[in-house]
Amino acid sequence: MGDEKNGILEREEIDAKYKWDLESMYANDELWEEDFKKAQGLAEKVTEYKGRTVESSATLLEVLKLRDELFRLTENVVVYARMRSDEDSRKSTYQALADRGMSLAAQIEEKASFIIPEILLLDESDLKKYLEEEEGLKIYAHYLEKAFGKKEHILSKEEEALLAQMGEVANSPENVFSMLNDADIKFPIIKDENNNDVEITHGNFIPLMESKDRRVRRDAFEGVYHTYKELENTFAATLNGCVKKNIFYAKARKYSSSIEASLDQNNIPVSVYDNLVESVNNNLDAMHKYMEIRKKALGLDELHMYDLYTPIVKDVNIKVPFEEAKDMVAKGLEPLGEDYIKTLKEGFSTRWIDVYENRGKRSGAYSSGTYDSKPFVLLNYHETLDNIFTTAHEMGHSMHSYFSKTTQPYIYGGYSIFLAEIASTTNECLLMDYMLKNVKDDNEKLYLLNHYLEQFRTTVYRQTMFAEFERDIHRYVENGGALTASYLNDTYKKLNEKYYGKEMIVDDEIASEWARIPHFYYNYYVFQYSTGFSSAVSLSQQILKDGEDAVDRYIGFLKSGDSDYPINVLKKAGVDMTTSEPVDSALKLFGQLVDEMSKLI
């Protein structure tokens, strides 16, 4: 496995042990159909409580338990269908199942939409009384407190039902983008280092950009971005639709801006977002210095955007088969203790992971699953150093999910998006520490140092650049602007020029990069990569320095799920994101690493 010279495999050609075990969710599609119908039935049962949600504490408990049962079942139906569709987006059977799953979710959202508005008809004193007299409600105390915190943004039952009906239509921009980007787009064939034909795919684009052969890098870069350029008006229309959707929901819920509406879902002050952008903008000097080092190390007269991914150290070519990558990840995460490692290895051996790229498979990597399923991971594993870290990263998500759902009841079994990138990145930081400590060769050490700096560049700087772009385009539309392809290209190119500095030739092609970023459809998601990375740097340092106490706090963090506000969950683990300290100290470390590399080059 993993030999890419023969081109991309069909899914049937891949060994079962390298494919995720979705059969453990539904052994066949007939069982999925049964749950689909059962969910429809439960949805009807929920509507019978309309108008009586808070008639007594016992009724309120019945409604909340029934809602949990319905949502839990629906998640299984939706997630299974989506993951099946992601295995091969050319299969119309699973596209249809995924569409039906999304339709079902929207219908159920609509049918259950009366619950929160009816709960909010209670006075807080009545709610307190209900919590005292009905023991079973105590588990919902935090959930109910959060709902009351959003009282001014919850609409009438009729308006909430109308918004819920909009769900399917509102997802259209993202769905169109996904189909265009994953199924329909076709990149050109270029020559690799050995002059063999290779078709560019989402999965091999970054490995091609890491090539030591500059001609290969340039051809891959131009091949991808010229393709996006040809479709830029369509991509601009889908992104414009998504931004307008976010603004519509913010206005409907009486928020002053789309960013406030998005962040308020997790009780995050907008100042956390703005402080991040400001902190990174104040620390661009270190990034510009890093670009100078890269230019010097590569021996180039001009540094171009297609020179960003190739390793600075020319003589090292770390190629790691997946079986070795698993062992390496497990060794790197040993500081997290025996329980963590035992579960991690169980995940490796019981088919949590869909490992290799196949034709039609969704690009990239993610962790998914439900409260009842294994915490699955989708990879497109190529034998690069970057992919070892991707494995550690996605398993960090899945381990977080595992600890949350095995500790918390369903209502708190997930975790806030604000916390979503922390466990994954802590894994990467610990793995990097392990590799740097155990490396024997100076060149390899320099290679790893370069990789760590790349993590900072791509996770703190690049994601903050994305966050700034996202904030700016929403503001532009909120102030009456229209997102044309030329506006998006111009805005995006200027940001690249600011972030990478005068040593970088910011090629015209990069102006179209916004078109290939799925995260711009996730409603202010990307800033959390940067805050998450900063938190992870802090947590990993605490784990390595303080040992058992820090590990206990950290495992407590993984087990907390959604049982408290994310800022509080993180504070208990030892990181306070209401201050600029975590971001500032991460950027300070970046500056130190840049200086260290400067001496070694």
3-state secondary structure of 318: coil
- The residue behind tokens 């340092």 is 541
CA separation for the pair 153, 251 (Å, rounded): 10
Residues 6+ apart with CB under 8 A from 522: none
Q: Is 535 exposed, middle or buried (0-12, 13-18, 19+ CB in 10 A)?
A: buried
What are the angstrom distances between the C-alpha of 66 and each of 41, 50, 60, 251, 323? 12, 13, 10, 31, 44
Q: Which tokens sit at 148?
A: 């009351």
Q: Is 135 exposed, middle or buried (0-12, 13-18, 19+ CB in 10 A)?
A: exposed
Residue from 467, 448, 461 nearest 534 by CA: 461
Q: Which tokens sit at 417?
A: 């998006």
Phi, psi of 304 (to 5 degrees): -110, 165
CA separation for the pair 313, 444 (Å, rounded): 8
What are the angstrom distances between the C-alpha of 351 and each of 20, 338, 377? 5, 21, 9
For 191, the enclosing helix (H) or strand (E) is strand 189-191
CA separation for the pair 258, 248 (Å, rounded): 8
CA separation for the pair 433, 536 (Å, rounded): 13
CA separation for the pair 388, 319 (Å, rounded): 10
Query: 599 near 294, Cβ under 8 Å?
Result: no
Strand partners, 504: 303
Q: Can you spell out the DSSP letters for 503-555?
A: TEE--GGGGGGGGG-GGGGSSS-THHHHHHHHHHHHHHHHHHHHTHHHHHHHH
**Is 394 considered catalytic here?**
yes
Q: Which tokens sit at 361?
A: 């498979």
Catalytic residue among 75, 109, 110, 394: 394
3-state secondary structure of 268: coil
Active site residues: 394
